[in-house]
Structure 1
Amino acid sequence: MRPVLFTLGPFAIHTLGFFIALGAVAAILLTTREAERKGLSSERVMDLLLFVLLGGLLGARLGYIVVYAPGYYLANPLEALRFDLGGLSIHGGIAGGLLAALWYTRRHSLPFWTLADAAAPGLILAQAIGRTGCDVFGIPMARPWPWGVSSGGTLLHPAQVYEFLLDYLLFYFLWRRRTRVRFPGQLFLMYVIGFATIRGVVEFFRSKPVLFGPFTVAHAASLAFILAALAAWHRLAATPAPVPVSGADAATGPAWRVALTTLVLAVTSLLSFYFVR
């Protein structure tokens, strides 16, 4: 995956930034649609999403700096502002976006868990699209599998492909399930558990600093996400509240249509990954 996708005059459009922006647009469109279906103001949701995007971006950058290269950035603090060079943590991004959402919803007396449910499908879709532009490959392959990626004469696991394909599967599940939740927050917690599980599996194919044995910092973060989500699930399920859903049947649509759309998106990501070089 080449670092620069194309140029517009003096401006270089970086591949990772392009796909992250594309994913963000998709997430905004889906989330505002879901919020309207739940009877929430799309204008207020747009304001919320701006804070979430900012919090997510800052959290992703800070998470990477703290975990992977604190010494370097302490010595070169201005380099922390070089988002164009990469260095983002997905766990940090989710945590940052979540904190921003908590602050905004409390400040404006909005239903946090209802909004979180509305955002869940869009979040995982954004992650799938964004991961398409990632150029951090996995560990060397034990066998020359045809889907491997050659780098420096070594055939590597395309960990990004494994992750975005699993993300698309989770998107399909959440999109079909979103009108059948038992309590506010259930769909979002499914997203958290699903994402953390996916990342935990894919992490075995990535080349990252380990904590012990084959387990990395991302494994620890994923486990923390799962435990926190299970604790929240237990608390929310114990005191269920009515879940307002309007237009459920029309919003869900035929299963084949959702499956076909998801398949087209996955194939598009695959083609983009392997042929945009």
Structure 2
Amino acid sequence: MYPVLFSIGKFKLYSFGSFIALGAIVAGVFLYRAARHKKLPTQQLFDIVLYSLLAGLIGARIGYYALYHDQFQSFWQVFYFWQGGLVSLTGLLAGFAAYLYFLRRDKLSNWVMLDIGLLSLLYGWGVGKFGCHLSSCTVGRAGNFLALNGTYPVDLYGSLLAMGLATALSVIWAQSKLREGVIFFLAIEGFLLSEFLIKTLKADFGEGIAQFEAISYLTLIVAVYAIFWFLHGPKVSSSGAVSNFKNILLRRR
């Protein structure tokens, strides 16, 4: 579509890199304002966002290299971020691991920081995905309903879903109606579910790599739900569980 926003002589401003940078700024601003709203220390947030972003980009590029290494002439092309080509799953895992590491290092590890961290990620992801849409990073399969030029705009769907989910959860979070940490799990589940559904609209979904990505997202959805239930679900003692089981049997008789 519009891989280059504008050019002046030999200088070209690429939409992909521009919106990735803009997404990082949006995510950082939201994280800073949300931390101040909760009266949390903000001195280290800039470094945390920067290092998490770099880790995410490197992880996404390494994942792309591992899956599509035949497209690279040398390993060092992994660091040519402006050329595009990212695997979202490996990027998210690397960026999130870096975020957790620096939170623990700076003694900021708590559920509130995880809540606002995931919300800021969704905002940044939504902005960055729009840059992918302009650069035509992902090819959607042919379709009619909600399609553009005969194909599904996969990256545009990802952008809109991420921004919509971030906005809805931000409103809930601001009203403080849920326990700390619940927004974190809701954001992960909503994001993974939307990405899983979007993967099925890709033109190469029938190929092994695309199906592997979709299965990975589905596995993470189940795993995250299990962890959430373990941490936030109702606590039932072993004696209580046995008693409930006996009641069920007696009712059936």
User: Do 2:169 and 2:183's aligned partners in 1 also have CA atoms closer than 8 Å?
Assistant: yes
* Structure-2 change in CA distance of 1:197 and 1:120 (3 Å): same
Select which of 76, 90, 93 maps to 1:92. Answer: 90
Unaligned 5+ residue runs, structure 1?
150-154, 241-277
Select which of 167, 181, 184 maps to 1:188. Answer: 184
* Structure-2 change in CA distance of 1:156 and 1:185 (3 Å): same
Give me the TM-score of the superposition, normalised by structure 2: 0.81
User: Do 2:146 and 2:152's aligned partners in 1 also have CA atoms closer than 8 Å?
Assistant: no
What is the CA–CA distance in structure 2 between the aligned matches of 1:166 and 1:123, rounded to whole Å? 13
Secondary structure at the aligned position of 1:201 is classed as helix
Once the 2 structures are TM-superposed, how far is the Cα of residue 188 of structure 1 from its aligned partner?
Answer: 1.6
Once the 2 structures are TM-superposed, how far is the Cα of residue 236 of structure 1 from its aligned partner?
Answer: 2.8
Q: Report percent identity of matched pairs.
A: 27
Letter in 2 for 1:124: L
Corresponding position of 1:271: none
User: Do 1:193 and 1:229's aligned partners in 2 also have CA atoms closer than 8 Å?
Assistant: yes
Corresponding position of 2:238: none
User: Do 1:192 and 1:225's aligned partners in 2 also have CA atoms closer than 8 Å?
Assistant: no
Once the 2 structures are TM-superposed, how far is the Cα of residue 10 of structure 1 from its aligned partner?
Answer: 4.2
What is the CA–CA distance in structure 2 between the aligned matches of 1:186 and 1:63, rounded to whole Å? 29
Corresponding position of 1:2: 2
Letter in 2 for 1:170: L
Secondary structure at the aligned position of 2:200 is classed as helix
Corresponding position of 1:165: 160
* Structure-2 change in CA distance of 1:7 and 1:201 (3 Å): same
Aligned structure 1 segments of 4 or more residues deviating by more than 6 angstroms: none
What is the CA–CA distance in structure 2 between the aligned matches of 1:62 and 1:112, rounded to whole Å? 29
Letter in 1 for 2:82: D
Within 5 Å, which residues of 2 pair with 1:72-87? Answer: 72-73=71-72, 76-87=74-85
Give the total of aligned pairs.
230
Give me the TM-score of the superposition, normalised by structure 1: 0.75
Please say which structure displays the higher CA radius of gyration.
2
Letter in 2 for 1:177: I
What is the CA–CA distance in structure 1 between the aligned matches of 2:9 and 2:70, rounded to whole Å? 36
What is the CA–CA distance in structure 2 between the aligned matches of 1:27 and 1:8, rounded to whole Å? 29
Corresponding position of 1:250: none
* More displaced 10-residue stretch of structure 1: 24-33 or 163-172: 163-172
Corresponding position of 1:130: 128
Within 5 Å, which residues of 2 pair with 1:32-51? Answer: 32-51=32-51
Secondary structure at the aligned position of 1:140 is classed as coil
User: Do 2:19 and 2:128's aligned partners in 1 also have CA atoms closer than 8 Å?
Assistant: yes
What is the CA–CA distance in structure 1 between the aligned matches of 2:92 and 2:197, rounded to whole Å? 18
Secondary structure at the aligned position of 1:13 is classed as strand
